[in-house]
Amino acid sequence: MDGFHTIRRGRSTALVREDDADRIAEALLDNEGCEVLHAGGRGNLLRFACTGGHGLIRRYQRGGMMRHILRDAYILENRPCREFRLHLHAERQGLSVPPLLGVCWERRGLLLRGAIATQEVAAKTLQEYVEADIPHAEDALRACGTLIRRMHDMDIWHADLQVRNILVGEGGPWIIDFDNAVLRPNLTPLLRARNLLRLRRSIEKNGLPVALFAPICKGYGIEALPPWLSRIYERKGRISDAISGRKHL
């Protein structure tokens, strides 16, 4: 693949950016030079020094009930490589995403494990940005909506569009975490609306004002989403909250 170098070590394979291949491979395969930046949820986020700043490594871990059975393994499914290809496609199409540094995977029988590395960008998550009460936040929210529209116009459907997977920096917003994202030719208005409603649900779940969603919609180029679909998502959210024991905000 142009711009990337393949390194194989036993059962493990790494595909890393050519201009810093050894350092990225050591971090991905051996955790060399890594520090834990965030622990919890579905795994650790690791940070390491690389050319041009720092890289971030996200190791794949399961959520839901399956995390108790396989934890970090997938059966005959190379999730890291799949995300790498889609992220690289988005990057080369000009979408605002952190530059890819590399990916690695290990195969043991039917099971695959792995990690993906991207360049660290100077930005806050959308949740952190809003909570910091930064002036002109509405402009940033409109820019987020515009970026989501660009992503959809590229036929990319993000599987986890939420307030922690949108970053906001001085240069504008970024979208991260394309695990389970897919290319859907001629992305329909219904699929676009469902993606946006997932983001609205994330705003509500994290205790942020739902009014933040309006400027995002304006940046996207719509005034409102179909009321019937909004009602379905609201009911779905209440059911999810009841099952999990979480208070609906």
- Within 10 angstroms of residue 119's Cβ, the number of other Cβ atoms is 17
Each residue's pLDDT tens digit, 31-55? 999 999 875 545 579 999 999 999 9
Number of domains in the chain: 2
Where does residue 150 rank: exposed (0-12), middle (13-18), buried (19+ CB within 10 A)?
middle
Please check whether residues 81 and 137 belong to one and the same domain. Answer: no
pTM for this structure? Answer: 0.89
Please check whether residues 159 and 90 belong to one and the same domain. Answer: no
Please check whether residues 136 and 161 belong to one and the same domain. Answer: yes
- Listed residues 66, 89, 119: the one ending a domain: 119
CATH number at residue 141: 1.10.510.10
Please check whether residues 54 and 148 belong to one and the same domain. Answer: no
The active-site residue out of 160, 177, 179, 241 is 160
- Listed residues 67, 87, 119: the one ending a domain: 119
DSSP 8-class letter at 199: H
**H or E segment to which residue 54 belongs:** strand 53-59
* Max Cα-Cα span within the chain: 54
Q: Is 22 part of the annotated catalytic residue set?
A: no
- Listed residues 93, 119, 145: the one ending a domain: 119
Place of tokens 């609306």: 193
Domain limits for position 179: 124-241
Each residue's pLDDT tens digit, 9-30? 999 999 999 999 999 999 999 9
Q: Is residue 90 part of a domain?
A: yes
Please check whether residues 100 and 129 belong to one and the same domain. Answer: no
